[in-house]
Every structure is written in structure tokens, then in C-alpha cells.
């Protein structure tokens, strides 16, 4: 998505990034060109939300214990990575843009509660007492959390003056790093 080439890009750390020739007293630095496949931070997080929602639906439709186990594992991995990305990068970056800072505090508490349920799910198995109930409760909990983020936090962030494309690049890079960790380690132990 092309951006105005006459404005400087503010990075999440507050520094300016300019492309093209260096600015003089009468001209502004050109903003670096963004690629068409680039995703802003909010769209990336929304895509994660839809992915997890689809996994919860797939869990309900699963026809075998093995399928439920694999889907539950995917849910846990996706949520742990998503929460880390939000807590490490997204929440600190958007904090200044929020009128109601308590929304971030609530989100972090919700993440902690979700981690508790995830640990219980990871230590159980389909067919065991409360396994499916824990996944269903986690689903309800996450769906509530997503609704609050998308309806309360994201609109405030959109009003701010953040470079959501640059933040999206950081989030995507960190998510890839964390997912790589799951590819080479035991997903039950990773990010615990």
C-alpha cells in the first residue's frame, strides 16, 4: 500500500527513518516505499485472532482424540506466540496512543489467565476429565479478549500516529522467531 512519500516515518522507538535523499531545510525526507504484501500491526493481530477462532471451531468438529490433541496443541502454540508478541512489542508500542491505559492492564491479566488454562490443556489429553471443557472455556475466554481488543484497543490505536506498517514488520519478525522455536523444540515445553 503506497504511502505519502513526503513524510518521515516514525519508528516505534521514536526515531525517524527516511528513504531517498537526505532532507534539507526546505524539504522533508521521503518515506520508504512499502511493499504490497506488507501488513500493518492491527491486520496481523486480527489475522491471528481469526486463525485461533478457526482452530477452536475445528476442535469442536474433530472426530478423534488424535485430531483433538493436534488441534489443541496448535491452539496452545498460536496463543502463546500471539500473547508474547503482544506483550513484548505491541502493548508497549501502543501504550502512548491509548486514552484508557487500563485496557492494556486488563489484557495482560487476561493473557495470564489464558496461560493457566493452556498449561492445564497441555498437561492433559483428549478423553481425560475436563480436557474438552478446558478448551471450550479457553475458547470463550479468548473470544471475549479478542472482542475487547478489536472493539476497544484497536480503534484507539488507529486514531494514534503510530507507523502500523513498521510495527507490523516487527511483530511479524518476532512471531516468525517464536514459531521457529516451536519447530525445533517440544511445543508443550516451549514458551512455558
Asked if the structure places residue 97 within a domain, the reply is: yes
Q: How far apart are CA 18 and CA 7, in angstroms?
A: 8
Asked if the structure places residue 112 within a domain, the reply is: yes
pLDDT for residue 96: 93
pLDDT for residue 3: 38
Asked if the structure places residue 25 within a domain, the reply is: no
Asked if the structure places residue 17 within a domain, the reply is: no
Q: What residue numbers bound the domain in which 152 lies?
A: 41-184
Q: Give how many domains the chain has, as a whole number.
A: 1
pLDDT for residue 166: 96
CATH number for the domain harbouring residue 121? 1.20.120.520
pLDDT for residue 7: 36
- Taking the chain (192 residues) in consecutive chunks of 10 residues, what is each chunk's mean pLDDT? 38 39 41 57 97 97 95 96 97 94 96 97 94 97 97 95 95 94 55 44
pLDDT for residue 39: 83
92 CB neighbour count, 10 Å cutoff: 12
Asked if the structure places residue 58 within a domain, the reply is: yes
Task: Annotate 35-67 with DSSP letters as a single string.
Answer: PTT---HHHHHHHHHHHHHHHHHHHHH--SHHH
Asked if the structure places residue 191 within a domain, the reply is: no
12 CB neighbour count, 10 Å cutoff: 19
Query: In the chain, where does DSSP find H-type helix?
Result: 41-61, 65-85, 91-94, 102-122, 131-148, 154-159, 164-184
Asked if the structure places residue 3 within a domain, the reply is: no
The residue written with cell numbers 508474547 in the block is 84
Cβ distance 39 to 172 under 8 Å?
yes
Asked if the structure places residue 70 within a domain, the reply is: yes
Amino acid at each position: 500500500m503506497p504511502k505519502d512519500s513526503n513524510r518521515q516515518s516514525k519508528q516505534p522507538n521514536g526515531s525517524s527513518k527516511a528513504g531517498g535523499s537526505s532532507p534539507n531545510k526546505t524539504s522533508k525526507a521521503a518515506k520508504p516505499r512499502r511493499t504490497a504484501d506488507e501488513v500493518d500491526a492491527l491486520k496481523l493481530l486480527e489475522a491471528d485472532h481469526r486463525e485461533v477462532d478457526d482452530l477452536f471451531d475445528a476442535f469442536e468438529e474433530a472426530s478423534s482424540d488424535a485430531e483433538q490433541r493436534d488441534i489443541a496443541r496448535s491452539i496452545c502454540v498460536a496463543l502463546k506466540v500471539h500473547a508474547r508478541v503482544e506483550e513484548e512489542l505491541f502493548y508497549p508500542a501502543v501504550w502512548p496512543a491509548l486514552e484508557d491505559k487500563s485496557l492494556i492492564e486488563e489484557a495482560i491479566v487476561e493473557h495470564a489467565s489464558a496461560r493457566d488454562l493452556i498449561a492445564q490443556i497441555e498437561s492433559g489429553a483428549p478423553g481425560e476429565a475436563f480436557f474438552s471443557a478446558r478448551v471450550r472455556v479457553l475458547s470463550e475466554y479468548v473470544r471475549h479478549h479478542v472482542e475487547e481488543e478489536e472493539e476497544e484497543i484497536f480503534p484507539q490505536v488507529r486514531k494514534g500516529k503510530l507507523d502500523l506498517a513498521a510495527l507490523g514488520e516487527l511483530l511479524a519478525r518476532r512471531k516468525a522467531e517464536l514459531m521457529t522455536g516451536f519447530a525445533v523444540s517440544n511445543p508443550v515445553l516451549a514458551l512455558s
